[in-house]
Amino acid sequence: MHTEKRLQELGIDLPEPRTVPANFIPCVQVRDLVWVSGTLGTVKDESGADRIPNPGKLGREISDEEGYQSARRCALNHLAWLKEYLGDLDRIQRIVKINGYVNGVEGFDRGPWVADGASDLLVEVLGPERGQHARAIVVVAGLAFQAPIETEMVVQIDPD
């Protein structure tokens, strides 16, 4: 599988795992499934703190493309948490499901295309057999830190 090699081929560096900002843990495993907590499309600033590069609502301050890029960063943050938890991304057998929450103005109906940023990244890195997944996307009135999108996912892993 060689997920780390694939990341290198794509020119993608996994970020440092996002700091958990509240009372939860990034990953919970039950048998061969890992529930990965919701994360935002944060990056580390020069002080090492997590920040949202483009905060705001889709359909107002944030373009669909900016939302798409934020969703890609969400997927990278998930992979960083999984790397920390599993030790080896090749233990990922399949991304089972992603739930996404898009911070959009009333009537914003392009949430699925914004969330494709996360889905596309996972397929690019893991391939269709491991990266394609079931998904649900909803548009919400607001998210923590004015994030454009938050995603969470369920992952099937090799339990060894």
**Nearest CA to 34 among 100, 81, 2, 101?**
81
**Owning domain of residue 136:** 3-157
Q: Name the pTM for this structure.
A: 0.96
Q: What is the pLDDT at residue 26?
A: 98
Per-residue pLDDT tens, the chain, 160 aa: give them.
699 999 999 999 999 999 898 999 999 999 999 999 999 999 999 999 999 999 999 999 999 999 999 999 999 999 999 999 999 999 999 999 999 999 999 999 999 999 999 999 999 999 999 999 999 999 999 999 999 999 999 999 998 7
Q: What pLDDT is recorded for position 159?
A: 83
CATH of the domain at 51: 3.30.1330.40
Dist CA 154 CA 134 (whole Å): 10
Give the number of domains in the chain.
Answer: 1
The pLDDT, as a whole number, for residue 1 is 64
Per DSSP, the three-state class of 69 is helix
Q: Which two tokens stand for residue 107?
A: 């009537």
